[in-house]
Structure 1
Amino acid sequence: FDLKLRQQPKQSRMCGVGEKADRRPIDPPPILQLRVINHSQHAEDHANVTPPSPSHADLLWLFLPSFLPTISSYLQNPYYFVYASLVSPDSGEELHLLRDGRTRATTGSVVSSLYHLKDIDNTDGGFFVFPDLSVRTEGSYRLKFSLFEIVQGKVYHCRSVYSDPFIVYSAKRFPGMEESTFLSRSFADQGLKIRIRKE
């Protein structure tokens, strides 16, 4: 597998906790591209891949897409998905919960299925997009993106990649959303639900 971050997160406004929290998504929305390098070897590799721990598997099933039809092409394969978790920018420690031990550190969609979309050069590609992911508290963070595949009812971890560090600002310090990137606008034009901002 080749999993590449095509669009890095740069900033966000903290959304806080509670029903009246003013939720702003990470800007720009993280976008990853998947390439399957060797299709024949891919089928054999599952024998050597370790399933995730029970705690991770239980967590992931909460966010899986509800539809799993059988499609042969990997560009439209619904059995691939990416799970995004917040991590410390230095240690890489995953930050699932706030200090109260109950509230998730992120809110919004933490899982993306694979989207078959046209790239900016009009070639077909497989992409994972996170247009609705927010962080509750200010600070410096990275995002860890973990690629999984469902094979015969089991969830296999394929690989993980990390974003560059980004800043989550308080409401007073937030500089505002930037103009949407060409890649975001291109995907929105193809029907993907991404907030588009124009200067």
Structure 2
Amino acid sequence: MAVPPQYQMVIRQQPEGALVTPRRSACKHVVHPPPVVELRRVYRTSLDGLLTPPMHVVMAVITRPDSEDDIDAGLGPRSRHASRPIVSSRYGVRDTENNGKVKTLFVFPEVNMKVVGAYRFKFTHVEMRSINMLLSEPIFSDVFTVQPLGSPSILRAPTALSRSLGRHGARIMVPQLACPHEWREEDSGDPSGQ
């Protein structure tokens, strides 16, 4: 008999876009605004808010808009579309949009993309227990677009939610302007070189 899920993921902040980050570049053009996932209990109790142990993390991978598969699965570091494996631990933040109640949020503020194109985030909640791990059904973000350097339209001021997370210790990076001197034509294409 299947065990009903205890938690539900809700995307509180959708990614919109990013400038491409050339490989070996010192400039990191992060996805903006950083996606934020809230973890809620399916059955609401007096314990709602900041979750207690066991440990909770949310993992993210990058997919194509029409696929559920990790686009970087099996690729080496020099060929990946995204900057790194992406895992977020929790932040307990008072939600100014919901009477100041404490919410459990997971933020992904340092993701930069190496290849121009359209992508989605795929999020999976992992509940770590003393003897095993429980994985949730994944959810997907809206499609976001990675643009060539010199496309300033995606640059935005930090959102209210990003600023709140920053005050609670999350390292929220502000999108940078392009670094044209570091641009290489090969960074706009497929990582396989085709």
- State the distance in 1 between where 2:75 and 2:167 align: 40
Q: Secondary structure at the match of 1:193?
A: coil
CA apart distance, 1:172: 2.7
Q: Which has the higher helix share?
A: 1
Which blocks of at least 5 consecutive residues in structure 2 are unaligned? 1-6, 176-194
Q: Secondary structure at the match of 1:192?
A: coil
Calculate the TM-score normalised by the size of structure 2. 0.74
Q: Does the alignment pair 1:126 with 2:126?
A: no
For 1:1-51, what per-residue CA distance to the aligned partner results, in whole angstroms no more than 9, with x for missing partners? 110000000001111322x352111000000100112389xxxxxxxxxxx
Equivalent of residue 165 in structure 1, options 117, 136, 143: 143
Equivalent residues of 1:76, 1:126 under 8 A apart: no
Aligned CA distance change for structure 1 residues 138 and 191 (closer, same or farther; 3 Å): same
Root-mean-square deviation (CA, aligned residues, Å) is 2.6
Equivalent of residue 24 in structure 1, options 17, 20, 29: 29
For 1:49-83, what per-residue CA distance to the aligned partner results, in whole angstroms no more than 9, with x for missing partners? xxxxxxxxxxxxxxxxxxxxxxxx86244611111
Give 1:124-163 correspondences, 5 Å limit. 124-163=102-141
Calculate the TM-score normalised by the size of structure 1. 0.72
Q: Give the aligned partner of residue 87 of structure 1.
A: 63
Equivalent residues of 2:32, 2:154 under 8 A apart: no
* Stretch of structure 1 that moved more, 94-103 or 122-131: 94-103
Equivalent residues of 2:30, 2:112 under 8 A apart: yes
- State the distance in 1 between where 2:74 and 2:26 align: 15
Aligned CA distance change for structure 1 residues 102 and 195 (closer, same or farther; 3 Å): closer
Aligned CA distance change for structure 1 residues 183 and 81 (closer, same or farther; 3 Å): same
Q: Give the aligned partner of residue 5 of structure 1.
A: 11
- State the distance in 2 between where 1:78 and 1:109 align: 22
Which blocks of at least 5 consecutive residues in structure 1 are unaligned? 41-72
> Identity of counterpart residues, as a percentage?
27
Equivalent residues of 1:86, 1:95 under 8 A apart: yes
Aligned CA distance change for structure 1 residues 183 and 82 (closer, same or farther; 3 Å): same
- State the distance in 1 between where 2:140 and 2:89 align: 18
The runs of 4+ residues in structure 1 deviating greater than 6 Å are 98-101
Equivalent residues of 2:17, 2:154 under 8 A apart: no
